[in-house]
């Protein structure tokens, strides 16, 4: 693993200096970012959460799905930037579940080597725990908001969501398809596998993967239950799977061609055509956004979503009313200078508040 010698607490101490987000504004040009809830009636939004609407903020400081330390600081940096108070300003009751102690779980996880799946035992063990937390929050009628951490936490979030709500549809906002499995992966990094590991007809034999035996009997997502938005860096094997399984995928080419409004209309229509009230899980990797706007992430690819496209994605699914759970991942302030790190955290915070009901009018 390419971990630095700095501990997580040291990294957090260093990065704190960069994120004194001004109360009068946020984002490029310090434009004022008013925390105004949607003017739509409360019962029209987040209809799958019980009243009074409660968001459970679950810190998921995962670093083991990819080679860079720093993604574990994301949850605390968003909290320190004002996430909890912003949620209350939008009308939510807030339960801060705190950060899951991944290091404690990792210390007791299997260290058995698994070809094609780096840190498989640790990633499996922590996601088993995470899936149980997500399932529990949903069954309590709350909205689980997972704050990563790298995208391997998608293994736990998908599994927990499907156990609680098997008919859930998924919006995967990412530059990458994350539909690899160990025998196909070019890197072995498990942040590129959450969809592949849980996909019906793609998932491997979990009895052969250390720490993953809890997934032997499912759950599984179906190819028609997911829509990709923002793809622009897809491995050859992933490309074949997407085509063979006829998975709906909107690349950046499609966004250029149709516009983000039409793309979101088609995506949501696809997921809700048989059930207008189908719950939707939104998984947002910050690398979906162009690196000029969000440079502090591990796998940047040029030509991503613009500032407004990035926001429109979350605004559209929020207004639809079916958004029932979400995660935001791969914010890593150590992979950019102070200005780039602050811009990325600012943007992540704005995307979260927009998906949770912030509205212009």
For the segment 165-194, what is each residue's pLDDT rounded down to a tens digit? 999 999 999 999 999 999 999 999 999 999
Is 150 noted as a catalytic residue in this protein? no
Do the Cβ atoms of 318 and 357 come closer than 8 Å? yes
Do the Cβ atoms of 308 and 356 come closer than 8 Å? no
One of 178, 254, 290, 315 is an active-site residue; which one?
178
322: tokens are 């079916």
**Rg (alpha carbons) of the chain, rounded to whole number:** 19
Global confidence as pTM: 0.90
Q: Give the separation between CA 274 and CA 264, rounded to whole angstroms.
A: 17
One of 150, 285, 327, 346 is an active-site residue; which one?
285
Residue 100: strand, helix, or coil: coil
Residue 122: strand, helix, or coil: helix
């940047």: which residue's tokens?
Answer: 300
Which alpha helices (DSSP H) does the chain contain, by range? 8-16, 74-80, 83-89, 102-107, 120-139, 154-164, 194-198, 236-244, 252-258, 260-272, 307-320, 338-355
Is 285 noted as a catalytic residue in this protein? yes
Residues 6+ apart with CB under 8 A from 68: 2, 3, 298, 332, 334, 335
Is 281 noted as a catalytic residue in this protein? no
pLDDT in tens, 302-350: 999 999 999 999 999 999 999 999 999 999 999 999 999 999 999 999 9
One of 128, 233, 287, 315 is an active-site residue; which one?
287
One of 176, 281, 315, 327 is an active-site residue; which one?
176
One of 233, 327, 330, 346 is an active-site residue; which one?
330
Q: Is the pLDDT of residue 30 over 70?
A: no
228: tokens are 């990709």
Is 224 noted as a catalytic residue in this protein? no
Is 174 noted as a catalytic residue in this protein? yes
One of 95, 174, 238, 315 is an active-site residue; which one?
174
Is 129 noted as a catalytic residue in this protein? no
CA distances from 46 to 93, 320, 321, 357 (A): 13, 9, 5, 9
Is 191 noted as a catalytic residue in this protein? yes
Higher pLDDT, 111 or 190: 190
């Amino acid at each position: 693993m390419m971990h630095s010698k700095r501990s997580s607490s040291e990294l957090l101490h260093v990065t704190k200096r960069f994120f004194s987000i001004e109360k009068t504004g946020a984002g490029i040009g310090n434009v004022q970012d008013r925390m105004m809830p949607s003017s739509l009636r409360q019962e029209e939004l987040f209809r799958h959460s019980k009243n009074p609407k409660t968001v459970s903020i679950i810190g998921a400081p995962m670093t083991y799905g990819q080679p860079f330390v720093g993604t574990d600081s994301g949850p605390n940096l968003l909290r320190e930037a004002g996430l909890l108070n912003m949620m209350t300003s939008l009308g939510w009751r807030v339960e801060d579940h705190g950060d899951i102690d991944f290091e404690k779980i990792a210390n007791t996880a299997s260290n058995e080597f698994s070809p094609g799946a780096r840190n498989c035992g640790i990633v499996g063990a922590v996601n088993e725990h995470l899936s149980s937390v997500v399932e529990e929050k949903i069954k309590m009628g709350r909205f689980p908001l997972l704050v990563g951490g790298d995208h391997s936490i998608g293994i736990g979030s998908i599994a927990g969501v499907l156990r609680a709500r098997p008919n859930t549809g998924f919006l995967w906002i990412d530059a990458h398809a994350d539909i690899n499995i160990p025998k196909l992966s070019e890197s072995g990094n498990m942040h590129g596998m959450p969809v592949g590991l849980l996909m019906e007809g793609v998932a491997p034999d979990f009895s052969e993967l250390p720490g993953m035996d809890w997934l032997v009997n499912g759950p599984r997502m179906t190819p028609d239950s997911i829509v990709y938005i923002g793809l622009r860096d897809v491995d050859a094997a992933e490309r074949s799977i997407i085509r063979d399984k006829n998975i709906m995928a909107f690349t950046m080419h499609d966004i250029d061609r149709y516009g983000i409004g039409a793309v979101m209309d088609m995506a949501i229509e696809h997921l809700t055509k048989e059930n207008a009230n189908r719950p939707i899980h939104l998984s947002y990797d910050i690398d979906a956004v162009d690196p000029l706007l969000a440079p502090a992430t591990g796998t940047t690819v040029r030509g991503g979503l613009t500032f407004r496209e990035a926001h429109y994605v979350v605004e559209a699914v929020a207004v639809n009313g079916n958004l029932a759970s979400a995660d935001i991942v791969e914010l890593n302030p150590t992979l950019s200078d102070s200005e780039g790190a602050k811009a990325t955290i600012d943007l992540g915070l704005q995307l979260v508040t927009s998906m949770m009901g912030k509205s212009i009018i």
